[in-house]
Amino acid sequence: MSENSSILDNIESCRLIHRGGEADIYLASGNSSKFVLKWYRNGSAFETEVVEKLKCIRIPGTCRIRESGLRDGNPYLVYDFVEGVSSRDVGHIPVPVALGLLREVAQSLLALNAVGVHHGDLNPANVLLNRNPDKSGFPVQTTLVDFGIVGPGTPGYAAPERFQGRPASTASDLFSLGMLLYRWITGEDLIQASGYEEFQDEILRIDSISVDEKLYASGDFTATEIAALSPLWKALLRQNAEERCEDFDELDEVAEIALGTLEVGEIKASVDAQKFAKALENQKPGGFPPDGSANGLDMAFPYEKRGIAHPKKKWKYMYLAVFGLILTLMAFFFIVGTNSSDIDETGNLLLKKSRNSVTMEPDSGLESQDSLPSTILKDLPTPSLD
């Protein structure tokens, strides 16, 4: 996209709604559309290769990147604004529904993996939930946002290797999915710490944490549910990445087995999911990113807008210009087109007139050896005379 047609220059309002570690998030609107502007700070940047891939393809269940680039020396990304309820705000989710959501997210991650992209920051705020308009599919539609993260991601959800500076991978996303599943079914984070270092310590000893015991201790889950979920924790929440399940296909199988183990019946599971989906509609719609204006964050443009005419005015001028051009051309062709000068034809007529009147006059012979006498020249046949 050229600089002159940048979405940034057509933004009419821009509001800072979240200040993150590596970037600020703005809710922007312009041209009757809403966008999310991710404005990187402190030398942070997105992975150009990843972003370019994502701009060229549309992956179901993911938020589209509309534009990327540098403005005023800062990298930025512009996403579509996605209506939906953040999974951070839905509290505790019934286990069968949570497993259904897990499988939906896994499918989107699988598609991202197919183009060599990993999410890098799976956490409840980055999964938006909507009622699925497609009646034949899972009643709740999930949308992943803010993917392709370079940094370690959200501390309470990042895989151990991410704290060691390793890039996002299928295995790290699988780990985060395990943490996410726990949050969904319990309504609280598995790891609760007060700082980055503490999160790191807790995550690194994940193998020693018994999720089954925690669930049992909460008293909110049946033995069947705890038993059904147990293989998932073993497949996801492992300190060693190699001990996690291999990929999202395998995770899907494990989740499917867990759903079968729950013995809730297909119809009841579907009814529960539909109830959950319906409840989503009653919640105040949020979106990506969650509206943070209530926190008193500033309303400001993080960049300097370039002097580009308002789109509507621009179109108005364009129409006027085209109309004027058409009128001028009509006048031009009226004056000129219907009255062709055709000077070449006149030239041919003059030449023909000259050369068609050739006659011979008596040659009186040469009279001088120095020059041609005027009598000869006078009598010399010419194109036009006589």
Piece of 113-121, 163-171, 197-205, 376-384 that binds other proteins (CB under 8 A): 376-384
CA angle at 84 for the pair 78 and 90, rounded to the nearest 5°: 125
Collapsing DSSP to helix, strand or coil, 277 comes out as helix
- Asked if 171 and 244 touch (Cβ cutoff 8 Å), the reply is yes
Shortest reach from residue 382's CB to other proteins, in Å:
6
Place of tokens 């193998």: 207
Instruction: Classify 70 as helix, strand or coil.
Output: strand
Of 275, 306, 313, 378, which lies in the binding site for other proteins, with binding defined by CB under 8 A?
A: 378
Angle at 245 (CA atoms; ends 242, 248), nearest 5 degrees: 125
Side chain identity at residue 285, one-letter code: P
Q: How far is the CB of 327 from other proteins (least distance, A)?
A: 9
To other proteins, the closest distance from the beta carbon of 337 in angstroms equals 9
Shortest gap between Cβ of 111 and other proteins (angstroms)? 48
Q: Quick one: 217 or 322, whose CB is closer to other proteins?
A: 322
Task: Rank residues 42 and 356 by Cβ distance to other proteins and give the closer one.
Answer: 356
In whole angstroms, give the CA distance from residue 197 to residue 203: 10
The nearer residue to other proteins, 2 or 368, going by C-beta atoms, is 368
Q: Binders of other proteins among 302-361, rule CB under 8 A?
A: 321, 324-325, 328-329, 331-332, 335-336, 339-344, 346-347, 349-351, 354-355, 358, 360-361
Contact by Cβ (8 Å): 50, 117 = yes
Q: How far is it, in rounded angstroms, from Cα 154 to Cα 62?
A: 19
Radius of gyration of the chain from its Cα atoms, rounded to whole angstroms: 38
Number of residues engaging other proteins in binding (CB under 8 A): 45
The nearer residue to other proteins, 115 or 349, going by C-beta atoms, is 349
Residues 45-84 that bind other proteins (CB under 8 A): none
Stretch that binds other proteins, among 127-135, 224-232, 291-299, 362-370 (CB under 8 A): 362-370
Of 57 and 366, nearer to other proteins (C-beta) is 366
Which of these ranges, 47-55, 101-109, 209-217, 372-380, lies near other proteins under the rule CB under 8 A? 372-380
Amino acid at 199: F
- Minimum distance between the CB of residue 333 and other proteins, rounded to whole angstroms? 9
Q: Could you tell me the CA-to-CA distances from 87 to 208, 264, 287, 357, 359 in Å, in that order?
A: 27, 23, 10, 101, 106
Are 123 and 290 a contacting pair, CB within 8 Å?
Answer: no
Token pair recorded at residue 159: 């895989």
User: Nearer to other proteins by C-beta: 196 or 317?
Assistant: 317
The CA-CA-CA angle for residues 219, 220, 224, to 5°, reads 95
Residue found by looking up tokens 């047609």 in the block: 5
Query: In this structure, how many other beta carbons lie within 10 angstroms of the beta carbon of residue 95?
Result: 26
Nearest to other proteins of 257, 326 (CB atom): 326
Q: What angle do CA 218, 221, 223 make, to 5 degrees?
A: 115
Which residue number, 252 or 379, has a Cβ lying nearer to other proteins?
A: 379
Enumerate binding residues for other proteins (CB under 8 A): 321, 324-325, 328-329, 331-332, 335-336, 339-344, 346-347, 349-351, 354-355, 358, 360-363, 365-366, 368-374, 376-378, 380-385
